[in-house]
Structure 1
């Protein structure tokens, strides 16, 4: 019964993770108007699943890190109620954030839950030194690095674009307003009908495209292809980075093969993204900064490179933190960043760790009392 509860808690975490995180890789595709929401989330689902499959072979170090090994005594890791507390504490935190449309970090939630349940269980025996060096430093440094690198890369790409003679064109979304019809009864008792249709161009919903050629090909088509590829890289990297973190909680269930565990977690994660990711998707796509396809491609390229590198080296960075940092870097470069929205996101990040810690600590104490 207790092992079944652990498995369900891990699945709840995977679903919440997919709902909050799956769209982040393709947020720039939707935000720049390159594609619509449904096509974007479909592409995210396919590429995230691919990353999850790759994690079976490339991300074993992350599995070990998020099992709690090195942070708490091995005897505690072998207790199912410890893993249940971590999974449920992190899952509930991420699920609440998803419902209000805030993009938070599953990594951060897991870290908070590990801390809460670990301190409740062993007190001062908790390895605070490893907590800082292995977990906290990458989480703090990565979004700052992403913001700086995306800003620098945007400036470099802008320079080369001008050198190649590629120019930007602004397109206004023109649509009809309500048609007004007026019927008039003439002196000769005939009836005439006059219609008036107003045309409106909305600057707020403008889109930017690129004109010119790169190696004989349309610059916009080349950029769109690269943008799709970069979004796929980010989603692939997220699957590669997040799947083993959740599977790490299932290591104590020896009856389930680790490869099968990753497959199940990947499928549940995909469903979470397909069903429940729109609110967070809108925040990431539309509310941090307006962007065109070139700017979106730049942000994605930095996010994908940083997260993939971190995953292969066993560093538990947050795809959310890196992605938001990259998009914010673009907004800083274009001077269009919404600092009010950024402050709300930063507040949600600040609250993530203590909320997950409190929930997991209370649950661990409750399960310990009942067992």
Structure 2
């Protein structure tokens, strides 16, 4: 027979066990965010150890080891921030799950970096600093180190606040600030900086306009047609052909530098051939897939799903091939300077340096990418496969147009600008159709209260203002931080 004291003891034990369970749950909840940080730190340490093995006993090896650690840190931040521009629209449109997007992006980013990443990288980032101004090898190493650290810190901060920024511009700002601190204002190529500043406006506007034009075309030729399926059979293969041709041209220009150097006319000819072939192949496939589909928008989303997934993977491949230099460029410059004791305008990228960049981008995407992917894909404006398809297509076409015009553009600004362009076009189209359908009765236009008008906005203004502000201050913020770091490094190790 159980006594009262035994019952009380069991109740006390149950309470204690329950408290322990709550403490365990709390510990797991608190520790979960620290897992990503721990893995990232471990990767940085491994990168530094790898550099130590390669440069064991060599003069200046400590500087190379430190640069490898900061290069790994920069690569992690590029993966956390930049890759969201490629995968965000596909995830927001629910064409891909978050896990699927991360796997595809990690594979394509790494493949792009390792297979098609450039063999040679400019040590002075877009020619904004005259190498003669920092000819002293020690000053040059400190300048590159300061640029690398400042760019990584700025991108890390932008990711934390949820703002997709240009990592290219972050590196440009870092190099500019360190160059000014090392050699004065005269070391900067101000016409080049003016062209980069103009890109702040040109890239997002051009991306937004092209995305809006394609969305207007899809709405008028497919969505607003009485027989949506018949219209889709006619136009979806054309759009896939345009997408294939655009990406073939994009990859020929930006992603295949390591294999062969292709001019714009040859790239366009390749794109035209690939686009025509894609149309011939996909037209019967779309006809077969659309059989038995209901005449509604949900069916159209299915037809655009697979092309959207493919476009996201191609964007990631091209991004890995083109932007990995942002992570490893300053590191490669430091390695070359410490190895040969001279400052060079362009240097070869060692394989181990490229591996750090490729793996770092993938780790950064897996560990910290979902936050920006959600923001770009669903928090700026609501996306479906058709709208997201327009964003991806706009990104490829805008880069081609910019390359033809010789304009320096940012893939981040283009992709996010395209998302905004789609959202603002939806707002305009929503108002226009609303006025046509319900706003005019007996010749009178129905007025809408300001509060109701604000409620109907399809683009979140708070995100718009945050992102624009982050874009504007990226270069000066990275430059100021880099200048301070250069002075500090020079003072500490002089």
Pairing 1:88–2:160 present:
no
Distance 2:220 2:371 in 1: 35
Q: What does residue 128 of structure 1 align with?
A: 189
1:165 is matched with which residue: 216, 227, 241?
227
Q: Which residue of 2 aligns with 1:359?
A: 481
Higher relative contact order (CA 8 A, sep 6+): 1
| Residue 240 in structure 1 maps to residue 321 in structure 2 | yes
Structure 2 counterpart of 1:251: 333
Whether the 8 Å contact between 1:85 and 1:364 is mirrored in structure 2 is yes
Change (3 A) 1:237 1:130: farther
In 2, are the aligned partners of 1:27 and 1:281 still within 8 Å (CA)?
Answer: yes
Cα deviation code 1:314-338 (max 9, x no counterpart): 8652221111100001001111222
Query: Separation in 1 of the partners of 2:134 and 2:404?
Result: 27
- 1:155 equivalent to 2:246? Answer no
The structure number with the bigger radius of gyration is: 2
Structure 2 vs 1, CA of residues 154 and 243 (structure 1 numbering), >3 Å: closer, same or farther? Answer: same
| Cα distance in 2 between the residues matched to 1:14 and 1:354 | 21
**How big is each residue's C-alpha offset from its partner over 1:268-299, in whole Å with a ceiling of 9 and x where there is no partner?**
11101110112212211121100111111111
CA shift, 1:70, in A, is 5.3
- In structure 2, the residue matched to 1:275 is 367
Does the 8 A contact of 1:237 with 1:308 survive in 2? no
Q: What is the match of residue 170 of structure 1? A: none
> Once the 2 structures are TM-superposed, how far is the Cα of residue 356 of structure 1 from its aligned partner?
1.1
Cross-structure match for 2:134: 76
Task: Give the equivalent residue in structure 2 for 1:369.
Answer: 491
Question: Match of 2:117, SS?
Answer: helix
Distance 1:138 1:164 in 2: 41
> Are 1:23 and 1:41, in contact at CA under 8 Å, matched by a contact in 2?
no
Counterpart residue number, 2:69: 8
Structure with a larger share of its residues in strand: 1
CA contact (8 A) 1:310 1:316 kept: yes
CA contact (8 A) 2:328 2:357 kept: yes
Cα distance change, pair 164–73 in 1 and its aligned pair in 2 (3 A): farther
Residues 104 and 282 of structure 1, relative CA distance in 2, 3 Å threshold: same
Q: Distance in 2 between matches of 1:100 and 1:281?
A: 13
Change over 3 Å in CA distance of 1:56–1:35 after alignment to 2:
closer
The structure whose residues are more often helix, as a share, is 2
Asked if structure 1 preserves the Cα contact closer than 8 Å seen for 2:177 and 2:479, the reply is: yes
Residue number among 85, 92, 101 corresponding to 1:31 in the alignment? 92
Q: For residues 121 and 306 of structure 1, what CA distance do their matches in structure 2 show?
A: 36
Query: Do the aligned residues in 2 keep the contact of 1:31 with 1:290 (CA within 8 Å)?
Result: yes
Contact 2:109 2:317 (C-alpha < 8 Å) held by counterparts: yes
Q: 1:342 aligns with which of 456, 461, 464?
A: 464
Distance verdict in 2 for CA 1:94–1:73, change over 3 Å: same
Q: For residues 37 and 14 of structure 1, what CA distance do their matches in structure 2 show?
A: 21
- Residues 230-239 or 134-143, more deviating: 134-143
Alpha-carbon displacement from aligned partner over 1:88-114 (angstroms, at most 9, x marks no partner): 000000011112222111112112112
Shift of 1:346: 0.8
CA distance in 2, matches of 1:19, 1:66: 24
Structure 1 unmatched ranges of 5 or more: 168-212
Give the superposition deviation at 1:19: 1.0
Give the equivalent residue in structure 1 for 2:381.
Answer: 289
Partner of 1:194: none
- After TM superposition, list the pairs within 5 Å mapping 1:253-332 onto structure 2: 253-254=335-336, 258-260=349-351, 261-307=353-399, 316-332=408-424
Instruction: Quickly say closer, same or farther: Cα 1:238–1:139, change in 2 above 3 A.
Output: farther
1:65 CA displacement: 6.6
Name the SS of the counterpart of 1:329 in structure 2. Answer: helix
Cα offset for 1:75? 5.8
Equivalences, count:
323
Query: What residue number does 2:306 align with?
Result: 225
Q: Please say if 1:145 is aligned against 2:206.
A: yes
Cα distance between partner residues in 2 of 1:247 and 1:2: 15
Q: C-alpha deviations, 1:55-89, integer Å up to 9, x for none?
A: 435x84xx227546452334626421111000000
Structure 2 SS opposite 1:216: helix
SS in 2 for 1:317: coil
